[in-house]
């Protein structure tokens, strides 16, 4: 099973990884950016790296292990990647926070990504989490040709195949965020066991 921890910069994705590793020792946890981020990283770069991570998740799946990927990946891109259908399950969590706190966090890191563009990206991700038909051009334009957008382009809001759990990290310590994510992981695993048991 592949667990996705997504969100715009400043939401706490990378910062909570050490805490998640303590709470979820049986899951292999990776930071999306650990493969490197080039100057001028764009949608095409993100989509190619997403496919690489899916291939890695499939290796873990073959070994009987779950993987968690934390970073700037996007559900619609994950589902459209060539290798995505081979995954036995995907569960997605969007980490979000108040705009003012996001900017303060990024400024505290000395990060120059605390911009209006970043706030707009965070707002788009909030809508993408609940509505697959919200401005898909944002990720499709300039993407790589092998992406298979048709897999979900006709899905409507409320489709059970498009489910994202949103966790507001505003004012929450990283330990608490990790605890909430660990509880969500347990719940998702339990749901999968029920589905597998009913087949």
Rounded mean pLDDT of 90-110? 95
The reported pLDDT for the residue numbered 109 is: 87
| pTM assigned to the model | 0.95
The reported pLDDT for the residue numbered 112 is: 80
The reported pLDDT for the residue numbered 192 is: 87
List the 28-31 sheet strands across, edge first. Answer: 28-31, 67-70, 2-6, 90-96, 164-168
Q: What are phi and psi of 168, to 5 degrees?
A: -80, 115
What structural domains does the chain harbor?
Answer: 2-198 (3.40.50.300)
Rounded mean pLDDT of 9-31? 97
Rounded mean pLDDT of 16-41? 96
Percentage of the chain beyond pLDDT 90 is 91
Instruction: Note every long-range contact of 85-90, with CB atoms under 8 Å and residues 24 or more positions apart, other chains counting.
Output: 85/151, 86/58, 87/1, 87/2, 87/54, 87/57, 87/58, 87/61, 88/1, 88/61, 89/1, 89/2, 89/192, 90/1, 90/2, 90/4
The reported pLDDT for the residue numbered 195 is: 58
Rounded mean pLDDT of 91-113? 93
CA distance from start to end of the chain = 17
The reported pLDDT for the residue numbered 197 is: 52
196: pLDDT strictly greater than 70:
no
């Amino acid at each position: 099973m592949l667990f996705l921890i997504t969100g715009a910069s400043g939401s706490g994705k990378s910062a909570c990884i050490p805490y998640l590793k303590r709470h979820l020792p049986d899951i292999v946890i990776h930071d999306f950016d650990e493969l490197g981020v080039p100057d001028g990283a764009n949608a095409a770069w993100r989509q190619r790296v997403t496919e690489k991570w899916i291939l890695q998740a499939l290796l873990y799946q073959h070994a009987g292990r779950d993987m968690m990927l934390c970073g700037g990946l996007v559900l619609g891109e994950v589902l459209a990647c060539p290798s995505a259908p081979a995954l036995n399950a995907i569960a997605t969590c969007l980490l979000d926070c108040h705009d003012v706190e996001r900017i303060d966090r990024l400024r505290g890191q000395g990060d120059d990504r605390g911009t209006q563009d970043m706030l707009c990206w965070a707002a788009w991700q909030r809508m993408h989490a609940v509505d697959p038909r919200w401005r898909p051009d944002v990720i499709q334009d300039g993407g790589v040709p092998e992406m298979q957008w048709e897999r979900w382009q006709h899905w409507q809001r409320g489709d059970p195949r498009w489910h994202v759990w949103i966790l507001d990290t505003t004012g929450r310590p990283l330990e608490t965020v990790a605890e909430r994510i660990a509880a969500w992981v347990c719940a998702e695993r339990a749901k999968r066991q029920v589905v597998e048991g009913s087949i």
